[in-house]
């Protein structure tokens, strides 16, 4: 009889332990699912934060515009390129340099007068090149040297500048904006 009681007690203990183990497995499974959901949420939040940071990082650079014009000079088929640069942001940009093709830098830089909405900008005061600073809402006109028309036609401008956060950018005459590691333009 004592052995029967011990056997029933042992059976009840094993049954209770199996039930507890089953509940623990279920709890652990729920916790693992919860942790996986939390990990997925954190991953999505990080991606959103990175996208927002990237958007803020390029926001100023996206507000810089360049318009390229081929300007005839004289009667011998000579021309120059005129790059009108507008800083449409609310912060200054620095170290502006316009390169024509791969070998030429702007020969002259002028303060721009007027609005691009009313046509080409008029030339104001002559500035130095490279231009150390272009204030918020300001514009400048970069001009190449005069070349034979075919040379001028083949040497489109690329603007290099540094934004207010210290990031260096390259903007080509087609509107392609790239971050650059140094002053080289590829």
User: How open is the CA angle 119-125-129, to the nearest 5 degrees?
Assistant: 95
Among 70, 73, 65, which residue's Cα sits nearest to residue 81? 70
Domain spans, the chain: 1-62, 64-179
Phi, psi of 102 (to 5 degrees): -105, -10
User: Rounded to the nearest 10 degrees, how much is the dihedral formed by the CA atoms of 114, 116, 118, 119?
Assistant: 110
- Residue range 64-179 forms a domain whose CATH class is mainly beta
pTM of the complete model beyond 0.75: no
Q: How confident is the model at residue 57 (pLDDT cuts 50, 70, 90)?
A: confident
Condensed to tens digits (0 to 9), the pLDDT of residues 12-51 reads 888 888 888 888 989 889 999 999 999 999 898 988 888 8
């Amino acid at each position: 009889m004592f052995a029967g009681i011990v056997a029933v007690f042992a059976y009840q203990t094993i049954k209770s332990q199996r039930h507890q183990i089953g509940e623990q497995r279920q709890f652990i499974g729920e916790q693992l699912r919860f942790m996986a959901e939390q990990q997925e949420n954190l991953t999505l939040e990080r991606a959103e934060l990175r996208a927002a940071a990237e958007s803020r990082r390029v926001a100023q650079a996206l507000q810089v515009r360049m318009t390229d014009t081929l300007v005839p000079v004289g009667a011998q088929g000579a021309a120059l390129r005129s790059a009108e640069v507008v800083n449409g942001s609310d912060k200054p940009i620095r170290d502006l340099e316009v390169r024509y093709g791969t070998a030429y830098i702007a020969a002259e830089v002028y303060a721009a007068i007027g609005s691009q909405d009313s046509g080409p900008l008029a030339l104001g005061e002559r500035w130095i090149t490279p231009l150390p600073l272009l204030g918020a809402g300001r514009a400048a006109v970069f001009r190449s040297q005069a070349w034979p028309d075919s040379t001028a036609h083949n040497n489109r401008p690329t603007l290099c500048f540094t934004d207010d956060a210290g990031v260096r950018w390259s903007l080509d005459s087609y509107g392609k904006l790239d971050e650059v590691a140094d002053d080289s333009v590829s």
